[in-house]
Amino acid sequence: MRVVWFGGGLGNQMFQYGLYCFLKKNNQEVKADCTQYSTTPMNNGFELERLFNLDIAHANLDVISKLTGGNRLSPRKVIWKLFRKPKVYFEEKIPFSFDPDVLKGNNRYLKGYWQNMNYLEPCAKELRDVFTFPAFSSDNNKRLADEIAKVEAVGVHFRRGDFLKSSNLGLFGGICSDQYYLRAIQTMENTVVEPVFYVFCDDPQWAKNSFSDARFTVIDWNIGSNSYRDMQLMSLCKHNIIANSTFSWWAAWLNRNPNRTVIAPERMVNRDLDFSGIFPNDWIRLQG
């Protein structure tokens, strides 16, 4: 049996579910460990089952304890670390890379984010089908979805919020700079006939202050537990400019326009890593 750890916000959960599907595709028995959300407040909690019609098997606490050694202070944990951990506990070694070793061994606990196309591609059709959002209920979103369908809509995503915290700036800051967005918008204007830009941001007041040009419509009403509606609306746009964020990455990947243009940053975090595995080959990557 494989147990996949789930943690982080919606975009991360979707990548982890991608691994879950990849393992099932390779005839593995797979269960999910979502206990992180009951012990640690995290964004909007575990959203996958609330938003999508997913059949996720959850590992019980006894199984999780056997694969993780249980309480970190227990004598059992010491024995587990010495003798069992190398056999059953598998943590992602290199972010954004593909590791075929996830398929090796018998009972294993898999912890990581698994942000690589090689996990997703074998399950691409299934993932696009199951990641179908609930129908819009608010008049604002219904109106905007109708408007987006009639124009060459470009969804532009800005991630601020937690990325601006001092503890996160070193890892996430400076990647999607003003220069990145200026070049991305210029590229869209040179590529798309009469583009109409829709701005999505977790700091909508900043966005409204920054984009007063009539070409840009700022979406400011999907907040809190409804923030996933921004991902849904961005996925309906014909083209996307994404941030170094899995939230807008998934919006672009779920975009079904066969002629879409997607612009992404060159890297997702400020580390010396190979990011080619997370970006589809037809996406345009620009420096910040």
pLDDT band at 255 (very low <50, low <70, confident <90, very high): very high
- Asked whether the beta carbons of 189 and 152 are under 8 A apart, the reply is no
145 and 124 housed in the same domain: no
Q: In the 8-state DSSP scheme, what is residue 246? A: H
Where residue 231 sits, what CATH number does that domain have? 3.40.50
pLDDT band at 173 (very low <50, low <70, confident <90, very high): confident
Q: What residue type is assigned to position 126 of the chain?
A: E
Q: CA–CA distance from 83 to each of 67, 150, 159, 224 (Å)?
A: 12, 61, 43, 44
Number of domains in the chain: 2
pLDDT band at 72 (very low <50, low <70, confident <90, very high): low
Token reading at 59: 């590992």
175 and 73 housed in the same domain: no
Q: Which of 129, 151, 182 is the last residue of a domain?
A: 129
Q: Which of 108, 129, 150 is the last residue of a domain?
A: 129
Q: What is the domain range of residue 25?
A: 2-129
Check pLDDT > 90 for residue 147.
yes
Least confident of 26-40, 51-65, 77-91, 252-266: 77-91
The pLDDT, as a whole number, for residue 76 is 60
The pLDDT, as a whole number, for residue 77 is 63
108 and 145 housed in the same domain: no
| Average pLDDT of span 193-212 | 92
- The distance of Cα 109 from the centroid of its chain, to the nearest Å, equals 21
195 and 232 housed in the same domain: yes
Question: What are 20-52's pLDDT values in tens digits?
Answer: 999 999 999 999 999 999 888 777 999 999 999
- Asked whether the beta carbons of 286 and 263 are under 8 A apart, the reply is yes
| Average pLDDT of span 180-185 | 96
Check pLDDT > 60 for residue 80.
no
Q: What is the DSSP string of 153-175?
A: EEEEEE--GGGGSHHHHHHHTTS
105 and 167 housed in the same domain: no
Q: Which residue has the tokens 């996990």?
A: 119
120 and 174 housed in the same domain: no
Question: What are 90-110's pLDDT values in tens digits?
Answer: 999 999 999 999 999 889 999
161 and 265 housed in the same domain: yes
Q: How far apart are CA 99 and CA 261, in angstroms?
A: 29
Q: How far apart are CA 256 and CA 241, in angstroms?
A: 15
21 and 102 housed in the same domain: yes
The pLDDT, as a whole number, for residue 87 is 78
111 and 193 housed in the same domain: no
Token reading at 105: 């061994």
